[in-house]
Chains A and B, each alone.
Chain A
Amino acid sequence: MDQLIFAAEVFMNGLMTGVMYALVALGFVLIFKASGVFNYAQGVLALFAALTLVGIQQGQVPFAHLINSIFGTHLEYFGWTVPVVLAILLAGAVMVLLAFLIEKLVLQHLVGQEPIILFMATIGLAYFLEGLGDVMWGADIKNLDVGLPQGISESIESVSANWFGYGFFIDRLDIWAAIIAALLVTALVAFAQYTKQGRAMRAVADDHQAALSVGISLRFIWVMVWSIAGFVALVAGIMWGTKSGVQFSLSLIALKALPVLMLGGFTSIPGAIAGGLIIGVGEKMFEFFVGPMIGGATENWFAYVLALLFLVFRPQGLFGERIIERV
């Protein structure tokens, strides 16, 4: 009985972790759907967004180290702190500006190229952004606090203690992450299905030539899609940054999103969510039941094994578009 309740708790925690994975995977799906490009830089985008948010919030001087070493000054902080809401809006604006620059400097010159070329460009972009984030905001680990509640949820603990005689441990941040992810996904789906920009976005994803012929500007759509991906990255960056501090290893969460995408399908927003949840729960349960027998630390690789197993049976992913070949 104890074992079962404990497993249930692990399951719930798995779900919550899964939500966090799904948040990152969402950004990938968006760009892949709209331009057929696997955006390797999505993880770094989340890192960059989080760094920028912390920097703005704490009133850090951007490029302080660079400025200091050139002019011999000792700048570091402006000496003010920006209110959370304003800081988030400003960080969002920076992400939009970044999207605009990415279109202008990178994508525009690669129109009509093979997806693999665009993929390579995003790898370059990832390293560039990582460097830029470093130069702009410094390499030290920062604390991000946007007022999201953290720590054990006492109400859930006491309620479950009454019912099961055992208090479930669930982080309040995880609950918020789940709520925010749900809102984000609802908003994104509504946007894609019911607005004209959403319709234009789907059109561009489908056929560039045809989209142009009905009067859709590819540039506008690309800037828009990268802005949205930047915004999703900001949300993911906030959640992960709050959870584990803003550090450069944050960009590696992209590697966790990869099995999520394989599982959920690269083109499906619901797939990203379901994939995230399955991976989250799967790796926690595996660690709980099998981990002790083989020495633990299974979380690093189990997600990939699970994704590979799925690939064998459903190559297009759980919700991905079925590939029908006509001869």
Chain B
Amino acid sequence: MNTQTDIATAGRQLGGTLMELRNITLRFGGVEAIKNISFDIREGEIRAIIGPNGAGKSSMLNVISGFYVPQEGEVWFRGERRGPVKPYEVARLGIARTFQNIALFDGMSVLDNIMTGRLHRMKAGFLSQALWWGLAEREEIENRAQVERIIDFLEIQNIRKTPVGRLPYGLKKRVELARALAAEPQLLLLDEPMAGMNVEEKEDMSRFVLDVNDEFGTTIALIEHDMGVVMDLSDRVVVMDYGRKIGDGSPDEVRNNQEVIDAYLGVAHD
């Protein structure tokens, strides 16, 4: 593990480096979506990636999640360099995510959806499960208890048996968060968790994100458009524009960065 001195932002102590991205460059054909970007994610922090549309935020998140493999640069996770990973292996590494346009299992109940988050933690063999005996039984009970805790935590008890397809948008987002949490990830990636929400739903979601970070100690990396939300939630912010990093630091530092202001208010690029 990296032994940098701990930095404090907004009165909070942050831990060591959980993930480090070194000189990442990602190309799609001739287009450079990410241009030589480096930054780190500290244990226990809420790290935001912001930027105007098309800045490369989602690509960055996909590099972090291992879905895209950058042409150049290194991804270090938990002090080890991470090679290319298969999409389904990422969850096993302790990284869970939510999607910009909700990817839930519509035909399944809320409870079942959240249980899928724990699938890779269940070890019982097929026979044991078929006979509902031994390990399988213990596992199901344990996992179910953990899932119920998350359901309580996110205040969705009343919809646990409802098929997800019938839920309103805001609740779907919450179920998706619950499923990600069920995996007990070390690193939680949220792709625009507040997109398309009304003010009240945004407040709820912000509270949950803070509570998750606080109570489970989960490190969170998120992409968000709503500047107010980002500034309130995050410990440190990376600002991207046209695939480049133009700012990195605490919300206050970023807010006063001239380049960031230009990117957001729109200054002619030459």
Interface residues of A (CB under 8 A from B): 190-191, 194-197, 199-200, 202-203, 205-207, 209-218, 321
- Which residue of chain A has its CB nearest to the CB of B112? A199
Whole-angstrom distance between the alpha carbons of A191 and B132 in the complex? 11
Chain B residues contacting A191 (CB-CB under 8 Å) are 130
Any A CB within 8 A of the CB of B115: yes
Whole-angstrom distance between the alpha carbons of A320 and B119 in the complex? 27
Please encode chain B, from 86 to 118, with 1 for each CB lying within 8 Å of some chain A CB and 0 for all others. Answer: 111111100011010001111110001001110
Known: A199-B116, A214-B120. 16 other contacts (CB 8 A): A194-B132, A195-B126, A195-B129, A196-B129, A205-B107, A206-B108, A207-B103, A210-B103, A212-B87, A213-B87, A213-B90, A213-B103, A214-B116, A215-B89, A215-B119, A215-B183
Any A CB within 8 A of the CB of B124: yes
A203 and B105 in contact (CB under 8 A), knowing A213-B97, A214-B116?
Answer: yes
Distance in Å: Cβ of B150 to nearest Cβ of chain A: 14
Whole-angstrom distance between the alpha carbons of A97 and B129 in the complex? 23
Of the listed residues B91, B116, B117, B183, the one surrounded by the most CB atoms of chain A closer than 10 A to its CB is B116
Chain B residues contacting A202 (CB-CB under 8 Å) are 105, 107-108, 112
A207 pairs with B104, CB closer than 8 A: yes
Nearest 5 A-B pairs (CB), nearest first? A215-B91, A210-B103, A206-B105, A215-B120, A212-B87
Chain A residues contacting B119 (CB-CB under 8 Å) are 196, 199-200, 203, 214-216
Chain A residues contacting B106 (CB-CB under 8 Å) are 206-207
Task: For chain B, give the interface size range.
Answer: 20 to 34
Whole-angstrom distance between the alpha carbons of A195 and B108 in the complex? 14
Whole-angstrom distance between the alpha carbons of A199 and B120 in the complex? 12
Whole-angstrom distance between the alpha carbons of A194 and B126 in the complex? 11
B108 pairs with A214, CB closer than 8 A: no
Whole-angstrom distance between the alpha carbons of A200 and B86 in the complex? 17
Chain B residues contacting A194 (CB-CB under 8 Å) are 129, 132
Any A CB within 8 A of the CB of B179: yes
| Count of A-B contacts judged by CB separation below 8 Å | 81
Could you show 21 A-B contacts with beta carbons less than 8 Å apart? A190-B130, A194-B132, A195-B130, A196-B119, A199-B112, A199-B116, A202-B108, A203-B108, A203-B116, A207-B105, A209-B99, A210-B104, A211-B88, A211-B105, A212-B88, A213-B99, A214-B96, A214-B120, A215-B88, A216-B119, A218-B88
A196 pairs with B91, CB closer than 8 A: no
Any A CB within 8 A of the CB of B7: no
Chain A residues contacting B104 (CB-CB under 8 Å) are 206-207, 210
Which residues of chain B from 125 to 179 have any CB-CB distance to chain A below 8 Å in the complex?
126, 129-130, 132, 179
Whole-angstrom distance between the alpha carbons of A215 and B86 in the complex? 10
A213 pairs with B130, CB closer than 8 A: no
Chain A residues contacting B103 (CB-CB under 8 Å) are 207, 209-210, 213
Distance in Å: Cβ of A245 to nearest Cβ of chain B: 34
Any A CB within 8 A of the CB of B261: no
Whole-angstrom distance between the alpha carbons of A203 and B179 in the complex? 12
Whole-angstrom distance between the alpha carbons of A209 and B179 in the complex? 14
B88 pairs with A216, CB closer than 8 A: yes
Distance in Å: Cβ of A212 to nearest Cβ of chain B: 4
Whole-angstrom distance between the alpha carbons of A199 and B121 in the complex? 13
Distance in Å: Cβ of B180 to nearest Cβ of chain A: 8
- Which residue of chain A has its CB nearest to the CB of B103? A210
Chain A residues contacting B105 (CB-CB under 8 Å) are 202-203, 206-207, 210-211
Any A CB within 8 A of the CB of B122: yes
Whole-angstrom distance between the alpha carbons of A199 and B124 in the complex? 14
Chain A residues contacting B115 (CB-CB under 8 Å) are 199
Distance in Å: Cβ of A307 to nearest Cβ of chain B: 24
Whole-angstrom distance between the alpha carbons of A205 and B105 in the complex? 8
B183 pairs with A214, CB closer than 8 A: yes
Chain A residues contacting B130 (CB-CB under 8 Å) are 190-191, 195
Of the listed residues A190, A206, A213, the one surrounded by the most CB atoms of chain B closer than 10 A to its CB is A213
Of the listed residues A195, A206, A215, the one surrounded by the most CB atoms of chain B closer than 10 A to its CB is A215
A216 pairs with B99, CB closer than 8 A: no
- Indicate which residue in A206, A214, A216 contacts B107 across the interface (CB closer than 8 Å): A206
Distance in Å: Cβ of A273 to nearest Cβ of chain B: 20
Chain A residues contacting B92 (CB-CB under 8 Å) are 215
Whole-angstrom distance between the alpha carbons of A199 and B107 in the complex? 11
A214 and B117 in contact (CB under 8 A), knowing A203-B108, A206-B105, A206-B108?
Answer: yes
Chain A residues contacting B126 (CB-CB under 8 Å) are 195, 197
Distance in Å: Cβ of B119 to nearest Cβ of chain A: 6
Whole-angstrom distance between the alpha carbons of A217 and B86 in the complex? 9
